[in-house]
Amino acid sequence: MTQVMANFQAVSVSESSRPPAFKTPSIKAPEFFDGTQPFKVRNFIQSCKLIFHNDPEVFSQDRKKVPYATSFCIGRAEELIEPYLSHLTNQDPS
């Protein structure tokens, strides 16, 4: 019985000395992209990719990535992608 208690205490100590589970860091959302400064598109896409790579379970498919990224498009950029979004929303989600 003494040996069992010693083993139990050793397991308890080793479990309490484990580092905490890794917590995914939060990443700043991309800035809104209006399309008036095309050179900013690269930064916009990189910001979106960081979000996608940071949470691969949420963004496991393109049909999840596209709505997220396009939600940050405004003005002319939003006007340009609107026909594609209409097409996506009319498709079967499977």
pLDDT in tens, 23-65: 667 889 999 999 999 999 999 999 999 999 999 999 999 989 9
The pLDDT value given to residue 25? 78
CA 11 – CA 59 distance, rounded (Å): 37
Dihedral sign (CA 26, 40, 31, 84): negative
What pTM was estimated for this model as a whole? Answer: 0.66
pLDDT in tens, 5-17: 555 565 554 555 5
Dig out the tokens for 35 from the structure.
């399309």
pLDDT in tens, 62-91: 989 999 999 999 999 999 998 888 887 777
The pLDDT value given to residue 9? 60
